[in-house]
Amino acid sequence: MKILHTEASPGWGGQEIRVLDEAQGFIERGHQVWIAGQSHSQIVPASRKRGIETYELPFGRVNFPNVRAMITLLKRLDPDIVVTHSRNDTWIAALGILFGGAKAKLIRTRHVSIPVKPGLRNRWLYGRRAARVVTTGEAIRSHLINVLKFDPAHVISIPTGTDLSRYRAGDKAAARAKLNLPADKKLIGMVATLRSWKGHRFMVDALLDKKLGGMNAVFVGDGPQEPLLLQQVAERGLKDRIIFAGRREDVQDWLRAFDVFVLPSTGNEGIPQALMQAMATSLPVVTTPVGAIPELVTHNESGWMVQPENPSSLADGIATVLADPSLAKRLGDTGRIIVEKKHTKAAMLDAMEEVFRKALEA
């Protein structure tokens, strides 16, 4: 198959990483794959770094010149499948296929649980123009079916898969020594883009709770909330207890260094990749029941659930898990088993390949 991925987002996070992992996985399976993104986006250099053939397209606005640029690219590549990932590139690709007379089938991937508005425009875009819609969680799928009144067969939930050969338990002391992290502290880890809905600010305030005294937190990732978080940390007097590690390629080493993984999200989530990666590393996870997270984490079985936007509840959850080594091990072991059974990279690629084949047959 010849597959073109389009991504209008200029930023960086789990969505962009999934696009790259999926594209690379299909290339390894013998398919021809391209990625198109905006010239100033972060996915374009990241895609080229992986050796994926990449094109720069103007996705900033949905207008005739930008649709014409898409038509030109479609004629040049002649893809069988166009997989879109954000609003603007979906509209531009849909109109490009329609007015350019391309044979390509459109697959719309919906990564976030932000509500979709009902109405004819979205029913046309997600329904008539898209051969299939893929979501990263069942909660997002159910929302689209209910709001846009779709046949359930039109919308398929395929969570992002995890590379189990990369994300697995390892030597904690060796990981800390490699990363120059303190060997004698309990480390609470977060791996997430510094966005408002990821809940970093609640983790900062949770660290003020006496139950977490003597513990440090590590934030792996960068993003637009970094200045506000640095200010909050300074105001709370926590500079010596919170490490901002920035964006890292060696995420697996950081996960192995942590005692517990935390993701206190407040909304917008599919099934977060970092949460699956932490579970694959056999880390106990503390998180919130928002978006599609409850499809992955069951309270007191594969993780520990706390109330969103509640530093006290977050501190209680972290303290409960870290105070009981047998509980932490049970949660970590069960989390690994769940990822092994349901959320591998191979399973994601198999499911996406089936979606593409059915779209072409239809």
Domains and CATH numbers, the chain: 2-161+344-361 (3.40.50.2000), 172-342 (3.40.50.2000)
Q: What is the per-residue DSSP string for 49-66?
A: HTT-EEEE---SS-SHHH
Contact criterion met (CB below 8 Å) for 292 and 138: yes
The whole-angstrom separation of Cα 151 and Cα 127 is 9
Q: pLDDT of 222-275, one tens digit each?
A: 999 999 999 999 999 999 999 999 999 999 999 999 999 999 999 999 999 999
Cα 57 from Cα 105, distance rounded (Å): 19
C-alpha distances (whole Å) from 149 to each of 127, 134, 292 are 9, 16, 20
pLDDT digits (tens, 9 = 90+) for 95-114: 999 999 999 999 999 999 99
Contact 321, 188 (CB under 8 A): no
**pTM of the complete model:** 0.91
Token pair belonging to 148: 């846009």
Residues with Cβ within 8 Å of residue 27, at least 6 apart in sequence:
33, 52
Q: Starting from the edge strand earliest in sequence, which strands make up the sheet with 2-7, in order?
A: 53-56, 32-37, 2-7, 81-84, 105-110, 130-135, 155-157
Q: How does residue 86 score in pLDDT terms, banded at 50, 70 and 90?
A: very high
Mean pLDDT of the chain: 97
Cβ contacts of 204 within 8 Å, gap of 6 or more: 217, 229, 232, 233, 236, 238, 242
Q: What is the pLDDT of residue 41?
A: 98
CA gap 35, 54 in Å, rounded? 5
Helices (H), 246-344: 251-257, 273-280, 311-323, 325-342
| Residue 362 pLDDT level (bands cut at 50, 70, 90) | confident
